[in-house]
Copies of this chain bind each other. A is one copy, B any other.
């Protein structure tokens, strides 16, 4: 039997795309010519193999966004889960409704009160992590060529989703106080003048990934008002909101304009990611579409995960656990900042009040992407700033995460990074290499969990 690829030149699609298919090597992929247009943008990042190396224990990874869940009460969870399976096993192991369990949605409403949100459980959709919520919102709003406005820089996993739906991402500047309202207003006015269809403002107001900054209270109603005036839906992504080091959360954008905001939440950072449970809170008609889209994608979210999290929220001092996470991450943030001050004074960085990340500007002339292989060789890993832009920016930045390694390892990682930076600066001085902007879109890649 011949493989289909051998016949590609004779088939309809093969014939039409014979040249392209041959060029791309149909021998390697007999289905190359059959992919949807959106799939041609899906390719593994070149740094994936590098990150495989970076996961070796001898490498200090300041790249990953994995929470440190060592502090979880495993004995409690073991007892709780055994009880759930014994007493409600046939329910926990069955299909559930597409919107998610009411019991959990009611608890999610309580969790969101910390963000000053007063919601109804009927407006909540439980999803496979908040990543699926991001995917579903994009699915129901974004046609190819539509514009999504996003912070500069933005979460790599969101850029991957927007790219999968063939959106054009337009970045708007941030500063230490978060997204800049005047820049947003100017950008939306300009896009309107160009006749572009702007569908979403995607924003992470609290402890931004990767920038580490938080939108100030003063700017929150301004951002909401600008979007309302331009009739642009706000997609507020808030995975880290409860992980502030110094204060309780500020009012979310959702709490300021219920009709104009879809809010995304997650248990991955406040509890654990292993059940893949997140949610969206949306205006009612939007929520209906989200449920339909989710049913099409996965039928229903995991009952076992939902009932486990519901049991944890009701049976354990979950907010006490959040507080202990805060202390742990604060200590790591401190270790990161003091190591940066000690070893890398020639760089500059943001000072996060919560979350997992700081955003570091390299000394002039260095290229974060070009430097990465040498960093990994020197047993330290980071994510190049280029991952967080859809337009080729970011070569002069790196994202450093302080969530997973211990304070001692963080210090050691920054020390190694400083060595790499100095060696790289020496190279630049000798050979005059300077950062080159990539072609727009070229550096956006689908996230691997290592980079989130």
Contact = CB atoms under 8 A, between A and B. Distances in A.
Contacts of A79: 82
B90 A296 contact: no
A97 B274 CA distance: 11
Interface of A: 1-5, 7-8, 11-14, 28-32, 34-39, 42-44, 66-67, 69-70, 72, 74-75, 77-79, 81-83, 85-86, 89-90, 92-98, 128-129, 131-132, 135, 139-143, 146, 157, 160-161, 163-165, 192, 195, 197-199, 228-231, 233, 257, 259-260, 268, 272-276, 283, 285-286, 288-289, 292-293, 295-305, 308, 446-449, 452
Number of copies: 2
A440 to B, nearest CB: 19
Contacts of A37: 143
Nearest to A143: B36
Nearest to A300: B449
Given A35-B289, A164-B293, A285-B29, A78 B82 contact: yes
Given A12-B231, A39-B139, A449 B129 contact: no
Nearest to A291: B44
A230 B272 CA distance: 47
B131 A259 contact: no
A124 to B, nearest CB: 17
Contact of A274 (B14, B93, B273): B93
A276 B93 CA distance: 9
Contacts of A199: 34, 36
Given A38-B139, A135-B297, A77 B89 contact: yes
Nearest to A24: B285
Contacts of A42: 140, 289, 292-293, 296
